[in-house]
Amino acid sequence: MYKDQIIIDGLQYCNWTRDYFKTLQKSGITAVHVTLVYHEMARETLTNFAKWNTLFEQNHDLIMRVDGVEDIVLAKKLGKVGIFFGAQNCSPIDDEIGLIEVLRKQGLLIMQLTYNNQSLLATGCYEKNDSGITRFGEQAIKEMNRVGMIIDMSHSAQKSTLEAIEISTRPICISHANPNFAHDALRNKSDEVIKALAAKGGLLGFSLYPFHLPNGSKCTLEDFCKMIAKTADLVGVDSLGIGSDLCLDQPQEVLEWMRNGKWSKAMDYGEGNASNSGWPDDLPWFKDEKGMENIYNGLMKYGFNEKEANQILGGNWFSFLQSGLEPKN
Amino acid sequence: MYKDQIIIDGLQYCNWTRDYFKTLQKSGITAVHVTLVYHEMARETLTNFAKWNTLFEQNHDLIMRVDGVEDIVLAKKLGKVGIFFGAQNCSPIDDEIGLIEVLRKQGLLIMQLTYNNQSLLATGCYEKNDSGITRFGEQAIKEMNRVGMIIDMSHSAQKSTLEAIEISTRPICISHANPNFAHDALRNKSDEVIKALAAKGGLLGFSLYPFHLPNGSKCTLEDFCKMIAKTADLVGVDSLGIGSDLCLDQPQEVLEWMRNGKWSKAMDYGEGNASNSGWPDDLPWFKDEKGMENIYNGLMKYGFNEKEANQILGGNWFSFLQSGLEPKN
| Averaged pLDDT for residues A296-323 | 97
Q: Mutual orientation of helices A158-167 and A191-199 as an angle, nearest 10°?
A: 10
* pLDDT over 70 at A105, yes or no: yes
Candidates B36, B41, B43, partner chain A, best to mutate (most A CBs within 10 A): B43
Contact present, B152 and B111 (Cβ < 8 Å): yes
Cβ pair A96:B53 closer than 8 A: no
CA B324 – CA B24 distance, rounded (Å): 25
Q: Give all strands (DSSP E) within chain A, no chain letters.
A: 8-12, 31-37, 63-65, 81-87, 108-112, 150-152, 173-174, 203-206, 240-242
Q: What is the pLDDT of residue A329?
A: 59
Share of chain A above pLDDT 70, in %: 100
CA A26 – CA B284 distance, rounded (Å): 68
Contact present, B123 and B167 (Cβ < 8 Å): no
CATH class held by domain B2-324: alpha beta
Closest approach of B107 to chain A, Cα-based (Å): 9
Q: What is the pLDDT of residue A124?
A: 98
Cβ pair B46:A329 closer than 8 A: no
Query: From the centroid of its chain, how far is CA A106?
Result: 19
CA A32 – CA A6 distance, rounded (Å): 11
Q: What is the ipTM of this complex?
A: 0.92
Cβ pair A105:B105 closer than 8 A: yes
Residue in B closest to A328 by C-alpha: B57
H-helix or E-strand spanning residue B64: strand B63-65
Q: Residue B53: its chain A contacts at CB < 8 A? A: 98, 101-102
Q: What is the pLDDT of residue A327?
A: 85
3-state helix, strand, coil in chain B (%, to 5): 45, 15, 40
Candidates B102, B142, B146, partner chain A, best to mutate (most A CBs within 10 A): B102
By C-alpha distance, which of A71, A70, A72, A66 is closest to A84?
A66
Residue in B closest to A42 by C-alpha: B43
Q: Residue B329: its chain A contacts at CB < 8 A? A: 57, 60
CA B317 – CA B150 distance, rounded (Å): 12
Which ranges of chain B have pLDDT less than 70?
A: 329
Q: Residue A102: its chain B contacts at CB < 8 A? A: 46, 49-50, 53, 106
Q: Does A233 touch chain B (CB under 8 A)?
A: no
Cβ pair A105:B101 closer than 8 A: no
Q: What is the pLDDT of residue B329?
A: 59
Q: What is the pLDDT of residue A328?
A: 81
Contact present, A38 and A115 (Cβ < 8 Å): yes
Q: Mutual orientation of helices B99-106 and B42-58 as an angle, nearest 10°?
A: 10
Residue in A closest to B328 by C-alpha: A57
Cβ pair B60:A102 closer than 8 A: no
> CA-CA-CA-CA torsion for A283, A285, A230, A202, nearest 10 degrees?
80
Q: Does A58 touch chain B (CB under 8 A)?
A: no
Q: What is the pLDDT of residues B101-140, one digit of tens each?
A: 999 999 999 999 999 999 999 999 999 999 999 999 999 9
pLDDT band (50, 70, 90) for residue A147: very high
Q: How many CB atoms lie within 10 A of CB A75?
A: 22
Q: Residue A106: its chain B contacts at CB < 8 A? A: 102, 105-106
Q: Residue A49: its chain B contacts at CB < 8 A? A: 98, 102
| Averaged pLDDT for residues A88-94 | 98
Does residue A276 sit in helix, strand or coil? strand
Q: Residue A40: its chain B contacts at CB < 8 A? A: none
